[in-house]
């Protein structure tokens, strides 16, 4: 294992990637060797962790906008790349990057690592990376402080707004003890990966003279599911990060969800 390849030594446990399509009012799921598919409502999942990232699509060059992920309570310093475009990668704090990135389709993204039902694993569960943008993040904000109390349920979308866009409607529902236990096991696996990920990224950023910590936060600021369960003094208000200013798993049978 090389110094620059430490994060790769711990493989990402994410197997599905989910995003919200505001034009269709549906979640879309994708994975390797699988065409994007719509997720049927109701869609249930358990939150494992929440991060922030810059993502998007630069239409002019038909290329993706990507960045490192950051913790909610650490400095929002990003290294943003638009593949093949001059002037990138570009580094800085979100407040200085947001306006220049707007022209490239770069958006603040809420990243939600979640446990979702699966027919492809022995446990019947797998880890997905769910991304929300714009007003969909505001919709998420209505339940964010309660996500550790059970499962998140999305039964549908709002009515189209003046521009024809729709946004998810979330609420909290109960989860069985068995399902909670499965989520803790998967979150431990996720946190092992994220620890290696942040060790590498934080070191790279610190070399630029920016102190972003060492990938670990004070316990009271933990946002992962397993950390919340371990810290009985957890304060849900810690999750109320302000919304940013800018604006996938094969469908499961609706009567066959395990929680």
- Residue 151 maps to a domain: yes
- Residue 186 maps to a domain: yes
Q: What would the pLDDT profile of 7-18 be if each residue is shown by its tens digit?
A: 456 799 999 999
> Counting Cβ atoms within 10 Å, is residue 101 exposed (0-12), middle (13-18) or buried (19+)?
buried
Task: Write down the residue that tokens 């034009």 correspond to.
Answer: 23
- Please tell me which residue, 247 or 221, carries the higher pLDDT value: 221
pTM above 0.85, yes or no: no
Radius of gyration (C-alpha) of the chain in whole angstroms: 18
Q: For residue 99, what are the domain limits?
A: 3-239
- Residue 143 maps to a domain: yes
- Residue 245 maps to a domain: no
- Residue 252 maps to a domain: no
Average pLDDT over residues 44-59: 97
- Residue 244 maps to a domain: no
Q: How far apart are CA 27 and CA 25, in angstroms?
A: 7
pLDDT at position 230: 62
Average pLDDT over residues 208-228: 62
- Residue 230 maps to a domain: yes
Banded model confidence at residue 227, pLDDT cuts 50, 70, 90: confident
- Residue 63 maps to a domain: yes
Average pLDDT over residues 237-257: 34
CA 49 to chain centre: 8
Structural domains of the chain, count? 1
């Amino acid at each position: 294992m090389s110094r620059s390849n430490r994060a790769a030594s711990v493989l990402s446990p994410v197997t599905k990637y989910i995003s919200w399509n505001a034009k269709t009012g549906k979640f879309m799921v994708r994975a390797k060797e699988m065409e994007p598919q719509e997720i049927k409502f109701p869609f249930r999942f358990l939150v494992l962790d929440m991060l922030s990232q810059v993502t998007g699509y630069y239409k002019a060059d038909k290329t993706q906008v990507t960045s490192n992920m950051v913790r909610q309570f650490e400095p929002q310093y990003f290294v943003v790349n638009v593949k093949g475009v001059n002037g990138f990668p570009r580094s800085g704090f979100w407040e200085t990057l947001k306006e220049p990135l707007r022209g490239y389709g770069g958006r603040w993204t809420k990243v939600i690592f979640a446990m979702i039902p699966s027919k492809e694993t022995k446990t019947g569960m797998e880890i997905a990376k769910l991304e929300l943008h714009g007003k969909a993040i505001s919709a998420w904000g209505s339940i964010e402080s309660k996500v550790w109390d059970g499962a998140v349920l999305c039964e549908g979308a709002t009515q189209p707004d003046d521009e024809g866009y729709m946004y998810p409607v979330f609420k909290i529902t109960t989860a069985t003890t068995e399902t909670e236990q499965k989520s803790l096991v998967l979150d431990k696996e996720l946190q092992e990966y994220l620890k290696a990920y942040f060790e590498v990224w934080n070191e790279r950023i610190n070399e630029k003279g920016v102190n972003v910590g060492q990938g670990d936060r004070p316990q009271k600021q933990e946002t992962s599911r397993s950390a919340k369960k371990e810290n009985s003094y957890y304060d849900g208000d810690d999750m109320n990060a302000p919304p940013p200013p800018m604006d996938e798993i094969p469908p499961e049978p609706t009567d066959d969800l395990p929680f």
